[in-house]
Amino acid sequence: MTKEMLLKYQTFSDTKQFTFNTLRQYSPEGQIIKVIYDGNNTAHFMDTTRGLTGTVNFPHNSDQPNIVQDKVMTLYDLGEYEWLSEKDFKKKWEY
């Protein structure tokens, strides 16, 4: 992933959230992913392009969006995530 793929990054209290485009051709716009990261090695994601949501856990803590983005995509691609409803994701997402 490159810095150019990072679209939006915001911090709310102890939670960080950002949106990025993988540039994979799942749609004309690419593949848009939203991430909420709590800083405790857990991230929630929503693939808005494919309609999938989930939660991933990392072995190491990181506050850098590009590192979190890479970890989310690696675990997502491997199918190593827990299902999370879109409704629950949206409750966590701060606009």
Plot region of 62 (φ>0 → left; ψ -120 to 50 → alpha; else → beta): beta
Helix or strand holding residue 12 (H, E): strand 6-12
Number of continuous H segments (helices) and E segments (strands) in the chain: 2, 6
Task: Please tell me whether the overall predicted TM-score, pTM, comes out greater than 0.85 for this model.
Answer: no
Task: Determine contact, residues 35/18, Cβ cutoff 8 Å.
Answer: yes
Q: What is the pLDDT of residue 12?
A: 47
The residue ranges of the chain whose pLDDT is under 70 are 1-14, 63, 95
Q: What is the pLDDT of residue 58?
A: 83
Task: Determine contact, residues 62/68, Cβ cutoff 8 Å.
Answer: yes
Distance linking the first and last C-alpha atoms of the chain: 24
Q: What is the pLDDT of residue 36?
A: 92
